């Protein structure tokens, strides 16, 4: 069975012992390589578990086929190509109460990529916000 290339144990991580060392120390891996992926760490909580199950892996799964979600004990580890978005208005509907983007931030533990909020939407993108594209302000 082949792993999604964004999986926690994909690529070199699937190798062990000498095979891992050979690739790890190979000449082409002595410099960083540009990556178009983003990583999001969500602390497990009542609300986050529902957002992961019912939105990211539920209603919105087809929107982002590259998304991988893995259970790492106290947190969910998410990786996707390009971007991950969470619309907190959708989360509010599912949770049955007001759930703002700031409520969501309570349990966002780490981001690798450029994360930002606009209105009730949280986005983490591989784009260089502020350089490739300007960060927007909320329009009245």
Partner 1 sequence: MSISAATKAATDALAANRAPVSVNAQEVHRWLQSFTWDFEKNRTKYPTKYKMANETKEQFKLIAKEYARMESVKDERQFGSLQDVLTRVDAGNRVHPKWNETMKVVSNFLEVGEYNAIAATGMLWDSASAPEQKNGYLAQVLDEIRHTNQCGYVNYYFTKHGQDPAGHNDARRTRTIGPLWKGMKRVFSDGFISGDAVECSINLQLVGEACFTNPLIVAVTEWAAANGDEITPTVFLSIETDELRHMANGYQTVVSIANDEAASKYLNTDLNNAFWTQQKYFTPVLGMAFEYGSHFKVEPWVKTWNRWVYEDWGGIWIGRLGKYGVESPRSLRDAKKDAYWAHHDLFLIAYALWPTGFFRLTLPTAQEAEWFEANYPGWYDHYGKIYDEWRARGCEDPASGFLPLQWFMENNHQIYIDRVSQVPFCPTLSKGASTLRVHEWNGKKHSFSDEWGERQWLTEPERYECQNIWEQYEGRELSEVIAELHGVRSDGKTLIAQPHTNKDGKLWTLDDLKRIDCVFKDPLKAL
List residues near partner 1 by CB under 8 A.
8, 12-13, 16-18, 20-21, 24-25, 29-35, 37-39, 41, 43, 45, 72-75, 100, 102-103, 105-119, 126, 128-131, 134-135, 137-138, 140
CB of 23 to partner 1, least distance (A): 10
Q: Which is nearer to partner 1, 23 or 59 (CB)?
A: 23
* Closest distance of CB 85 from partner 1, Å: 14
User: How far is CA 129 from each of CA 64, 105, 114, rounded to the nearest angstrom?
Assistant: 20, 19, 6
Query: How far is residue 113's CA from residue 100's CA, in Å, rounded to a whole number?
Result: 22
Contact 70, 8 (CB under 8 A): yes
Give the shortest CB-41-to-partner 1 separation in angstroms.
6
Judged by CB, which is closer to partner 1: 95, or 108? Answer: 108
Nearer to partner 1, 57 or 117 (CB): 117
26 burial class (0-12, 13-18, 19+ CB within 10 angstroms)? exposed
Judged by beta carbon, residue 16 or residue 62, the one nearer partner 1 is 16
Q: Which residues contact residue 31 at a Cβ distance below 8 angstroms, ignoring those fewer than 6 apart? A: none
Smallest distance from partner 1 to CB 114, Å: 7
């Amino acid at each position: 069975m082949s792993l999604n290339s964004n999986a926690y144990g994909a690529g070199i991580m699937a190798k062990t012992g000498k095979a891992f060392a050979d690739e790890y120390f190979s000449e082409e891996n002595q410099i960083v390589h540009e990556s178009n992926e983003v990583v999001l760490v969500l602390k497990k909580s009542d609300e986050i578990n529902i957002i992961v199950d019912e939105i990211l892996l539920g209603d919105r799964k087809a929107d982002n086929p590259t998304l991988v979600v893995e259970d790492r004990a106290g947190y969910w580890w998410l990786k996707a190509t390009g971007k991950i978005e969470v619309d907190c208005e959708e989360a509010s509907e599912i949770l049955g109460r007001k759930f703002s983007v700031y409520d969501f931030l309570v349990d966002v533990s780490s981001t690798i990529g450029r994360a930002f909020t606009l209105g009730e939407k949280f986005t983490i993108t591989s784009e260089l916000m502020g350089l490739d594209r300007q960060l927007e302000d909320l329009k009245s």
